[in-house]
Structure formats: C-alpha cells, structure tokens
Structure 1
C-alpha cells in the first residue's frame, strides 16, 4: 500500500471535513477506543463535537491533520498548542485515531510523526499525551520514543463505561 497523503486542515477546509472526521470518531468509539465518549455514540454527536473544535482551529490553537484512503478519512491526529505564556514550549497530542479497516499499516505512526514535526515548527519541544494502559495506542507510543511517566488507575471510562487505567507520556523533541 502506498503511504497516504497527510493533509493539515486549515480553518477554511475544516468544516467540509467534519462529516468524515465524525465518521472516524464514531468508528473509534464503536471499536472500543477510549477517546472520551460513551456508547451509544452517533454521527450527529460526533459531528457536533468536531464542529465545537472549529474556533480553536480558526485561532490556530488546534492543528488537525487527516489522511484518506479510498476517499474516506482513514485517520486523524490533532496538536493542541499551549496558550499560557509559560507553556509555549509544550503541546499535547490529542485524538490520534485510525479507522479499524486501516489499522496495522503505519498510519498512526505517520500521523504522529507529522504532528511531532509541526510541534517543532510551532516552537514546542515537549509533547504530552495520555492513552488507555495496555491499548494498541500505548504500544505505538512505547515503541515510538515516548516516555511513560505514570499510570493513573481508573482514570477514564471505555465506551461501555468500564473504568480503565490511563498511561501518561511525554516526548522531548530535538530541534536539530
């Protein structure tokens, strides 16, 4: 498979991408990913959540990328830039998701690498994220140069409401 093109969604293209992003978010929740939502979770709810992110995208506080496969959004990642003056050196990786039909092809790693490069371009040399302990996503971070600095028991609920442990990670980026 050829590596899919990863595209940053500027404010002017964000609204047009909401439908595809919503479909991806629904797939993530339906497949059990702990991304902040409980089942049942439908397309309308997912689209509303993404639309609520539009002001942050327009202000440049949230950078969003997608990759497509066969015309559909196959994956996404977002980078939340810190707004506090004393935190401009750091950012947070949020909503790294790959459609269940596209997993195992390196899309998560490619999306993550894109966000890491963009963080450096934005002046952020320290990245943070959290993910469900023991998940496939955790494996991506553990093997991708991220450092787990703690596990909080029962931190977040899975889509069925079961409380799950959460691993917290950081990664220092080298501007060289």
Structure 2
C-alpha cells in the first residue's frame, strides 16, 4: 500500500473527527502526542480545537495528512507550527507527528517525515524542529530520518507518579 499526502486539506467536520480519532488511537496505543493513555475523544477534542484554530486560510500553521492511497483511510499526520516570531520564521516546529497503530511498521512514519522535509525545502525553510517524550526509542527513529538531538530536559514530562521522561528536542538542518 502507498500513501497519498495532502497539504492544507479542507478541515471540515469529517476530517476533524478523523484526526481526533487518530489522535486518540495513537495515544491509547502508547504514542506520545500530548496525552497519556488512557484518553477519550472528548479529552482530545479540547486540544485539537486549539491546534485546528491555527490552521487554515490566513493562519500561520499548516497541516500535512497522509491517507492510504488504496483505501482513503487517514494513516498519519503532522502540523507545521509557526513560532509567530519574525526572527524564527526561517524554521518550523513539527507537532503531533503520528501514524495510526494499524499502519505502524510499514515505513509510513519515515514516508511522512520525508514528505515533511520535502514540503519544508519547497517553502525555502532552513530547518525543522520537533520535541519528543524520551523513553520510547523515538530518538533512534528520527535519527534514521536524518534528525539530530539538539537538547534534552531531564524528567520534564511526568507520565505517572514515579515515571518522569526527558523532553527531547530534535533538529533537522535543511541547508
């Protein structure tokens, strides 16, 4: 199966609901996308509405979605978030990078990251940044995609009492 990418899709009610379902499924499968499992769609909607507000005509953020070409099913997504500060306009922060658990292990995450890099280069951006929750092996995945660790805040993310994880910043130089 292959992925079809869409940048800045129409964020109508159907896609919004699909994004929230994806986000909930990813979180409940152990993904680190802003919540700790278990989470409900109602809980995710509150954060999703804030994320959606920055996307759309005249807004500074962008959404990249990946659908399975054959089925049309939403397989993954990420947001390009502007820092909304002129001196940082030469790079973007990737947020909510996720691939549905049903599709993990097929290389879709690497495809999503490669498409994000291609889009960023087409815009003339010089670099991309993302943060991740330590302890899940994500540094190795992003490293294979060409990213380097740029910083780490120890024990900054409390997943549960006695389970603190590092907040890791990854950087991709596009120059």
1:82-115: per-residue Cα shift (whole Å, max 9, x none)? 3211111111111111111100111111111222
Name the structure 1 match of 2:29: 31
Structure-1 separation of matches of 2:12 and 2:98: 17
Aligned residues: 171
Cα RMSD, aligned residues only: 2.0
Which residue of the partner structure matches residue 127 of structure 1?
128
User: Which segments of structure 1 move beyond 6 Å, counting only runs of 4 or more?
Assistant: none
1:167 has 2:135 as partner: no
What whole-Å deviation, never above 9, does each CA across 1:48-73 have from its counterpart, x for those lacking one?
Answer: 32222232102342211222233432
> Residue 3 of structure 1 corresponds to which residue in structure 2?
2
In structure 2, the residue matched to 1:72 is 73
1:88 maps to which residue?
89
- More RCO (CA 8 Å, sep 6+): 1
CA distance in 2, matches of 1:135, 1:62: 27
Runs of at least 5 residues in structure 1 that lack an aligned partner in the other structure:
none
- 3-state SS, counterpart of residue 135 of structure 1: coil
Aligned-partner Cα distance in 1 for 2:172–2:12: 28
Residue in 2 that maps onto 1:61: 60
Please list every run of 5 or more consecutive structure 2 residues that lacks an aligned counterpart in the other structure: none
Q: Deviations over 1:16-64 (max 9, x none)?
A: 3111111111112111222221333111222332222232102342211
How far apart in 2 are the matches of 1:68 and 1:19? 15
Which residue does the alignment assign to 1:49?
47
2:26 and 2:100 in contact (8 A); partners too: yes
